[in-house]
Amino acid sequence: MSRGTERVDGMSVFDPDCTSREVLEHATGRWGALTLAALVNGPLRFAEVGRAVSGVSDRMLSQTLQRLEADGLVSRTQQSTIPPRVDYDLTDLGRPIAERICDLIETIYEQLPGIVTHQRALRAAEASPARDTSD
Amino acid sequence: MSRGTERVDGMSVFDPDCTSREVLEHATGRWGALTLAALVNGPLRFAEVGRAVSGVSDRMLSQTLQRLEADGLVSRTQQSTIPPRVDYDLTDLGRPIAERICDLIETIYEQLPGIVTHQRALRAAEASPARDTSD
DNA sequence: CGGCATCCGAATGGATACTG
DNA sequence: CAGTATCCATTCGGATGCCG
């Protein structure tokens, strides 16, 4: 049991009923991770987050932000002006988590060349299964 | 532009067409993150991964492992004995990524008390909206 | 501008049964 | 044991339209 995610506190992300698993799913969901990553450089308005996380619809962005807000990872500040202005920011709870997401993304960047090479090798192997690629 | 996920290499996880985004989604998908985390302590057999990641069905586990394998993050070693034995392990590509996932999980553990407190405060505020909780 | 409600197709994902 | 195939319910998620 050298390294991993075991905890002596009686909580485990592997437990389907543990809050940590829920939070993990919100933070790593399809849009959750990108949303948190988009906020590390400072607060953004709704539309700005949407532009940063390209591909997300208003609906999904709204849901994602609401969940992150409910978990206390993101704060929502609304100015009831016209037009309205809403700023989203990381909370003290959310910032360290968002930073770990950025670390993960950085690591993926670092491994990306190897991953792409692997994917290409796989496709080549599928195209001509007679000859293997281990040479 | 103090800190974040910008890259000068012309790749961005925020680009829907970038491979890094695809890999991020596989690694942080519903079962992807837990599967990678389950493998950090060493190789596991199919059923062992399933037991570690409690709640996952055979079908989803199989799909998840196949995607991670296709990305080159996980290796699959099959002994064609009877009964068959298949071991899944992190590759050199996958290990650093899995470790960042574990870091993320650790960070969530650390913030969990605050998150739970926040969630409870929210529910209390909803239950009695007349009185606010800012005192 | 910053949402929420509705509709609807697509994808996810569980249960079960079956194979080597 | 380690899957795959089929079926089916649930959810995801985009498009559109409306509201403050």
Mean local confidence (pLDDT), A38-46: 96
Judged by C1' against the alpha carbon of B78, the nearest nucleotide is D2
CB < 8 Å to B114, chain A: 72, 92-93
Q: Is A78 left (phi over 0), alpha (psi -120 to 50) or beta?
A: beta
Kindly report, residue by residue over A67-115, the tens digit of the pLDDT.
999 999 999 999 888 888 999 999 999 999 999 999 999 999 999 999 9
Q: What is the pLDDT of residue B108?
A: 96
Q: How far apart are CA A38 and CA A67, in angstroms?
A: 16
A2-17: average pLDDT: 77
Smallest Cα distance from A81 to chain B, Å: 22
Structural domains of chain B ordered from first start: 19-127 (1.10.10.10)
Helices B19-28 and B94-127 cross at an angle (nearest 10°) of: 60
Q: State yes or no: pLDDT of A37 exceeds 90.
A: yes
Contacts of B70 in chain A (CB under 8 A): 119, 122
pLDDT of residue B104: 97
Work out whether the CA dihedral B53, B56, B62, B66 comes out positive or negative: negative
Task: Determine the longest span between alpha carbons in chain B, in angstroms.
Answer: 68
For chain B (length 135 residues), average pLDDT per consecutive 10? 66 90 93 96 96 93 95 94 92 97 96 94 74 43
Residue in A20, A103, A112 nearest the CB of B112: A20
**Which residues are bridge partners to A68 per DSSP?**
none
* Tokens 């890999």 sit on residue: B23
Min mean pLDDT across A40-44, A60-64, A114-118, B122-126 is at: B122-126
CB B73 within 8 Å of CB B91: yes
Rounded Cα–Cα distance for residues A59 and A49 (Å): 13
Q: What is the DSSP letter of A15?
A: S
Reported confidence tier of residue A33, pLDDT bands at 50, 70, 90: very high
- Cβ-7 Å neighbors of strand D: A 29-31, 55-60, 83-84; B 45-48, 58-59, 62, 65-66, 76, 78, 83-86, 88
H helix count then E strand count, chain A = 5, 3
Check B54 against A15: CB less than 8 A apart.
Answer: yes
- CB-based contact B108 A13, cutoff 8 Å: yes
CB contact under 8 A, A105 and B37: no
> Is residue A129 over pLDDT 60?
no
Half-sphere exposure of B16 (CA within 13 A, CB side): 10
3-state secondary structure chain B: CCCCCCCCCCCCCCCCCCHHHHHHHHHHCCCHHHHHHHCCCCCEEHHHHHHHCCCCCHHHHHHHHHHHHHCCCEEEEEECCCCCEEEEEECCCHHHHHHHHHHHHHHHHHHHHHHHHHHHHHHHHHHCCCCCCCC
Inter-chain contacts counted by CB atoms under 8 A, chains A and B: 178
Contact: A24, B70; criterion CB under 8 Å? no
Structure-token pair, residue A81: 């002006």
Q: What is the pLDDT of residue A9?
A: 72
> In what helix (H) or strand (E) does residue A88 lie, and over which residues does it extend?
strand A85-90
Confidence check: pLDDT of A1 > 50? no
How confident is the model at residue A3, as a pLDDT? 64
Averaged pLDDT of chain A: 89
pTM, two decimals, is 0.91
Chain B interface mutation, best of A111, A116, A126, A134, highest count of B Cβ atoms under 10 Å: A111
Position B128 scores a pLDDT of: 65
**Is A55 in a helix, a strand, or coil?**
coil
Spatial neighbors of B19 by CB under 8 A, at least 6 apart, are A112, A115, A116, A119, B11
The helix or strand, by DSSP H or E, that contains position A86, with its residue range, turns out to be strand A85-90
